[in-house]
Amino acid sequence: MSALAAVCLLPGADTKRTAPDWAYGYLKPLSPGDTVGPPCPPAAKPYPDCAYVPAPVPEDGVKRELPGAAARYTRNEAYFDYGPADWYPGDHPPMPEIVAKGKPAAGVRACALCHFPNGQGKMENGSVAGLPAAYFLQQLTAFTTGARRSADPRKANTNEMAQIARLLTDEEAKAAANYFASMKWRPWVRVVETETAPAVRSTTNGLFLPIAGAAPIPLGQRIIEVPENPERTDVMRDPRSGFIAYVPAGSIARGEALAKTGGDKTKACITCHGQDLLGRGNVPGIAGRTTSYLMRQLWDIHQGTRKSQIMAPLVEKLEIEDMIDLVAYAASRMP
């Protein structure tokens, strides 16, 4: 088990829930006694003031390898806040300083730490490769003003992202936006329709990892997303190893119908995001992105914590089951 992880066992089949806690990296609803994400006042530095501070992991000195990578790194080198491992430098253009190393004096961790040098990211954060630069900058502004925040106050890395956005100069923001926009999004999620899923544990910021040897559990009305190669993702931060999303049986077909027609609850997603959900103009592509991230955005907009004049009326009538179907379909599409 990772030293960063807290054990969370999945309960039995879900009944209808009041919030998709699993999309935020939790397997139970928020309760009055729960610890929530650290507050992030304007004068605070983003890290560690605005994030959960994990227990230090002793350096074991073991240089680990990934397939096709020339360099080797220890676990702590891979996780270094201000210059994390770049396993495959040939996979991306030269990184701007803010992406590669962040701003140590301000406590701003490198963009590449969470989003990876290639922008693919993980289920507990955002996948930023291939986003239009103008959209990227728009979202940084939304984080800065408070127009984009998490509906689940336990999601501390969203607090940190907001504070990072406030501390970026215009030049740094543009450099990051142009860098990530310059790369194409590549296939990252394998969607599996099923009635059962692996039992999982949750790490500090919401990465689900399967519990070795545990029996599968009923999936119910939720999605469980795990890395294809848990150790390579959790220990080595492999930027080439994606995710498996276990979704309810029939959800892809239902999501396709809703995305293409809107049914009687919304408008067709393809109207703005394009026929293949690859984006159009400054509207971001959503095909092949992680189900956890997509679900968080729909729920945040539905709850009003992420402001969007365009999207708010489109999600108003959606039930959680509708959102599950939509994100299952969107994630299943090849970018």
Same-domain check for residues 165 and 257:
no
Which CATH number fits the domain that encloses residue 205?
1.10.760.10
Same-domain check for residues 306 and 319:
yes
Same-domain check for residues 294 and 240:
yes
On whether residue 248 sits in a domain, the answer given is yes
On whether residue 162 sits in a domain, the answer given is yes
Pick the more confident residue, 276 or 33: 276
75-118 per-position pLDDT tens digit = 999 999 999 999 999 999 999 999 999 999 999 999 999 999 99
Same-domain check for residues 190 and 263:
yes
291-315 per-position pLDDT tens digit = 999 999 999 999 999 999 999 999 9
On whether residue 50 sits in a domain, the answer given is no
- What pLDDT shows up at residue 4? 34
Tell me which residue range forms the domain holding 96: 75-181
- What pLDDT shows up at residue 168? 98
Same-domain check for residues 228 and 215:
yes
162-179 per-position pLDDT tens digit = 999 999 999 999 999 999
Distance CA 17, CA 26 (A): 13
Same-domain check for residues 225 and 322:
yes
**Domain's final residue, options 145, 165, 181:** 181
* Residue 4 burial by Cβ neighbours in a 10 Å radius (0-12, 13-18, 19+): middle
244-277 per-position pLDDT tens digit = 999 999 999 999 999 999 999 999 999 999 999 9
Same-domain check for residues 170 and 271:
no
**Domain's final residue, options 181, 213, 229:** 181
Number of structural domains in the chain: 2
Same-domain check for residues 200 and 321:
yes
On whether residue 100 sits in a domain, the answer given is yes
Same-domain check for residues 193 and 303:
yes
Same-domain check for residues 174 and 205:
no
4 and 78 in contact (C-beta within 8 Å)?
no
On whether residue 38 sits in a domain, the answer given is no
Q: 303: closest CA among 158, 167, 94, 91? A: 158
Same-domain check for residues 264 and 300:
yes
On whether residue 65 sits in a domain, the answer given is no
Same-domain check for residues 85 and 171:
yes
Task: Give DSSP secondary structure letters for 89-124.
Answer: GGGSPPPPHHHHT-BGGGTB--HHHHH-TTS---TT
The answer, yes or no, to whether residue 5 has pLDDT greater than 70, is no
Residue 123: band (very low, low, confident or very high) from pLDDT cuts 50, 70, 90: very high
On whether residue 287 sits in a domain, the answer given is yes
**Domain's final residue, options 181, 197, 222:** 181
On whether residue 120 sits in a domain, the answer given is yes
